[in-house]
């Protein structure tokens, strides 16, 4: 394990950001693919928030990981002389199973937090992301992380399976729910804890009075950014009929002129199946640009907005890593809350509308993250934790909570002095003495407390 002073650990890990800057061109080149064709997306969506997170660890990590002293203040009488310390200690061996859609930011922050907490880390990259992951690891090595504290596995499923079989203390997975179930099943026998950052089917709720020009720009951004392969990208547009009528005239020209986007090989089967089912059941292609044959042949598609989707259609409650969105007509706030909270995937949501109304709605949504009058970008704040609910996983990464999640708790209590009444042989008057003490400490009002004091005095006389 990375067993040095926590301040030094956090400083070394934080210094990896300087190496990221030095290798920025190599990292951008390594992330370029059929899905990632815009280099600025790698810098904006991955490298900048990653470096922000590394600086956060360097600046705030030592204080977050510091021991918490529990002294006299608030101490119960019967704990006279006891002082305790709550320590955050590393789990030990941490396995990170990375995703393909953000190969630098997601595993980068996770391994940085695991190292800063003092763990030894193994990272299994997603297929196709081997080069990016290796360059990222070299950034940490050059910053001073010992080579025996961080290892990059090959990208096969067998590599992850072997590592789990050899024994790990914590597994952090970013991926689909099916993979999450498989990994949790493998961990069940050894009762190994995990953090599961799984898929989303996120809702974008548009309230009356929302700035529809901003909403239209958000729809375009959410469907096209990273080729639509963002776990918190908008998949369901919850909107009133009249508002949709006004919004649709703004959305159509924004999305009709763009180039087709390429769907990742691991997602193409699900996308074809779900879209074909929805169209067969009467869903309408709003933009009129969808070509199922082209999607099958070369995995490319224009953004797809489906209207008139039957409520029980699988695409309305499934994780889709592609530029696909369904439109669901919601007449009031209650129907929005119901549709968001009833969905098995509850990673994030966005709400557009007048501030007070949007904030009130956000407070009722059972999801991991809600963004008001924006989407996706604010969640990259290094100070914020990230995690989902339901089928979207459990546990958090990033932010102070994510750093603490890379540790487990050890409590050390020490008693000073000679007052140890619990070690004395029991006496007949003990029950009255303890009951009286209980009343004195927790009784309601002076009468109960006074009766408790009298009971203590009487018990003490009989000892």
Domain presence at residue 420: no
Helices (H) and strands (E) in the chain, counts: 18, 20
Q: Based on the fold, state whether residues 191 and 222 are members of the same structural domain.
A: no
Q: Based on the fold, state whether residues 319 and 234 are members of the same structural domain.
A: yes
> Both ends of the chain: CA-CA distance in Å?
54
Q: Based on the fold, state whether residues 157 and 208 are members of the same structural domain.
A: no
Q: How far apart are CA 66 and CA 28, in angstroms?
A: 36
Q: Based on the fold, state whether residues 247 and 362 are members of the same structural domain.
A: yes
Domain presence at residue 322: yes
Total count of domains within the chain: 3
Q: How far apart are CA 134 and CA 372, in angstroms?
A: 37
Domain presence at residue 376: no
Q: How far apart are CA 130 and CA 35, in angstroms?
A: 16
pLDDT in tens, the chain (463 residues): 566 799 999 999 999 999 999 999 999 999 999 889 999 999 999 999 999 999 999 999 999 999 999 988 888 878 888 999 999 999 999 999 999 999 999 999 999 999 999 999 999 999 999 999 999 999 999 999 999 999 999 999 999 999 999 999 999 999 999 999 999 999 999 999 999 999 999 999 999 999 999 999 999 999 999 999 999 999 999 999 999 999 999 999 999 988 999 999 999 999 999 999 999 999 999 999 999 999 999 999 999 999 999 989 999 999 999 999 999 999 889 999 999 999 999 999 999 999 999 999 999 999 999 999 999 999 999 999 999 999 999 999 999 999 999 999 999 999 988 878 888 888 888 899 899 999 999 999 999 999 999 999 998 888 7
What string of DSSP letters covers 232-253?
TSEEEEEE-HHHHHHHHHHHHH
Q: Based on the fold, state whether residues 38 and 186 are members of the same structural domain.
A: yes
Q: Based on the fold, state whether residues 226 and 303 are members of the same structural domain.
A: yes
Q: How far apart are CA 246 and CA 458, in angstroms?
A: 80
- pLDDT, residue 1, reads 56
The kind and range of the H/E element at 46 are none
- pLDDT, residue 3, reads 66
| The model's pTM | 0.93
| Residues spanned by the domain of 325 | 203-366
Task: Return all residues near 210 (Cβ < 8 A) that are at least 6 apart.
Answer: 243, 352, 353, 354, 358, 373
Domain presence at residue 76: no
Q: Based on the fold, state whether residues 92 and 217 are members of the same structural domain.
A: no
Q: Based on the fold, state whether residues 339 and 223 are members of the same structural domain.
A: yes
Q: Based on the fold, state whether residues 55 and 105 are members of the same structural domain.
A: yes
Residues 439 and 448 sit within 8 Å (Cβ to Cβ): yes
Q: Based on the fold, state whether residues 217 and 184 are members of the same structural domain.
A: no
φ, ψ dihedrals at 266, nearest 5°: -75, -15
- pLDDT, residue 2, reads 64
| Closest to 411 (Cα-Cα) out of 120, 89, 97, 111 | 89
Residues 102 and 226 sit within 8 Å (Cβ to Cβ): yes
Domain presence at residue 380: no
Cα torsion 271, 231, 128, 29: sign? positive
Domain presence at residue 389: no
What string of DSSP letters covers 185-249?
HHHHTTT--EEEE----EEEEE-TT--HHHHHHHHHHHHHGGGG--TTSEEEEEE-HHHHHHHHH
Domain at 64, CATH number: 3.40.605.10
Q: Based on the fold, state whether residues 261 and 356 are members of the same structural domain.
A: yes
């Amino acid at each position: 394990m990375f067993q040095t002073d926590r301040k030094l650990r956090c400083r070394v890990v934080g210094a990896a950001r300087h190496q990221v800057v030095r290798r920025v061109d190599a990292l951008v080149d390594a992330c370029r693919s059929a899905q990632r064709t815009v280099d600025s997306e790698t810098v904006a969506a991955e490298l900048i928030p990653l470096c922000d997170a590394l600086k956060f660890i360097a600046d705030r990590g030592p204080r977050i990981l510091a021991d918490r002293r529990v002294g006299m203040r608030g101490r119960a009488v019967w704990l006279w002389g006891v002082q305790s310390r709550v320590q955050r200690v590393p789990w030990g061996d941490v396995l990170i199973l990375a995703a393909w859609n953000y190969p630098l930011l997601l595993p980068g922050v996770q391994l940085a937090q695991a190292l800063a907490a003092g763990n030894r880390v193994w990272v299994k990259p997603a297929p196709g992301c081997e080069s990016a992951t290796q360059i990222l690891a070299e950034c940490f090595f050059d910053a001073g992380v010992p080579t025996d504290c961080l290892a990059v596995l090959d990208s096969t499923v067998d590599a992850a399976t072997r590592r789990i079989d050899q024994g790990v203390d914590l597994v952090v997975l970013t991926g689909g729910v099916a993979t999450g179930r498989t990994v949790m099943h493998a961990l069940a026998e050894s009762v190994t804890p995990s953090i599961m950052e799984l898929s989303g089917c996120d809702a974008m709720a548009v309230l009356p009075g929302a700035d529809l020009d901003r909403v239209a720009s958000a729809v375009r951004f959410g469907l096209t950014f990273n080729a639509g392969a963002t776990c918190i990208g908008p998949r369901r547009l919850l909107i009133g009929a009249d508002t949709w009528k006004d919004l649709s005239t703004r959305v159509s020209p924004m999305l009709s002129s763009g180039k087709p986007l390429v769907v990742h090989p691991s997602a193409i089967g699900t996308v074809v199946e779900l879209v074909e089912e929805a169209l067969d059941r009467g869903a309408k292609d709003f933009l009129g640009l969808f070509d199922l044959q082209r999607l099958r042949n070369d995995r490319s598609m224009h953004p797809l907005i489906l209207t008139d989707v039957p409520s029980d259609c699988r695409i309305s409650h499934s994780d889709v890593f592609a530029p696909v969105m369904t439109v669901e007509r919601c007449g009031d706030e209650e129907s929005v809350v119901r549709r968001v909270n009833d969905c098995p995937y509850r990673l994030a949501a966005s709400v557009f509308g007048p501030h007070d109304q949007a904030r009130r709605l956000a407070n009722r949504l059972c999801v991991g993250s809600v963004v008001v009058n924006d989407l996706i970008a604010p969640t990259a704040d290094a100070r914020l934790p990230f995690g989902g609910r339901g089928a979207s996983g459990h546990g958090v990464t990033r932010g102070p909570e994510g750093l603490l999640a890379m540790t487990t708790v050890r409590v050390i209590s020490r008693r000073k002095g000679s007052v140890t009444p619990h070690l004395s042989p029991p006496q007949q008057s003990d029950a009255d003495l303890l009951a009286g003490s209980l009343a004195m400490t927790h009784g309601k009002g002076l009468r109960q407390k006074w009766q408790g004091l009298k009971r203590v005095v009487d018990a003490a006389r009989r000892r």
